Amino acid sequence: MARPRTFDEDRALDAAMHAFWEKGYEATSTQDLCDATGLGRSSIYNAFASKHDLFKRALARYIETMNAAQFAVLEDESRPGAERIRTLFAMVIGDDPDDRRGCLSVNSVVELAGRDPEAAGMLERDTARRLAVMRAALEAGQREGGITSSRDAGSLARFVNAVIAGLRVSGQGGAGRATLEAIVATAMDALTAEPGPADPASREPAPSGPEPAGPSAPDRPSAPDR
């Protein structure tokens, strides 16, 4: 008969998640996981089978936790779509500015996506879910007039997702809050700014007659096709 577990598995999973978040998958040793969870090696392997299995479960927990809070904002139909996106950006930069761990999902994409099919599949499914929720919020913003970009909502969702990844990496690299807020302001301008007046020079008609005579310039070779 198997012996009953004498530890809180959810608590151990949270501790392991933070260990992987701090160091990444490869750099986190079994001893690091023992220290983080307070468990012995045999208890970890009995409960989670392998380091890789524990990592997958920790990553799934991170994704679920982060998405729960962010999706609650993005799916809040009582708010205008543009406000939902702005609030999402604020949540991303609103964490502890001294926390240099970045985002476990983004970190895992950089470290593992090209060589760990299981982790890559988890991250691809998460990205698809996030893009769908962002797209719905952006479509609402376009219908309301708060999102003024003429780009389709799917392209804008990928833009927002890329900005968030950039914010995470920039924060991890040491960018301060003022820098991150400036990035957000620029992104929101791209989504919501009213189109500016055209450059007056661009409205001037092209000359209809021959060009005035002047010193001839040597012929330039045409640019190669690319």
Question: What is the pTM for the complete model shown?
Answer: 0.78
> What is the domain partition of the chain in residue ranges?
55-194
Calculate the CA 183 to chain-centre distance.
Answer: 14
55-194: CATH class: mainly alpha
Of 203 and 207, the one with more pLDDT: 207
CA distance linking residue 93 with residue 86, whole number of Å: 11
Task: Tell me the per-residue pLDDT of 97-152, one tens digit each, with 9 for 90 and over.
Answer: 567 788 899 899 889 878 899 999 999 999 999 999 999 999 999 999 999 999 99
Task: Give yes or no for residue 226 having a pLDDT over 80.
Answer: no
Residue 100 has a pLDDT of 75
Average pLDDT rounded to a whole number, residues 22-37: 93
Residue 7 has a pLDDT of 67
Average pLDDT rounded to a whole number, residues 158-167: 96
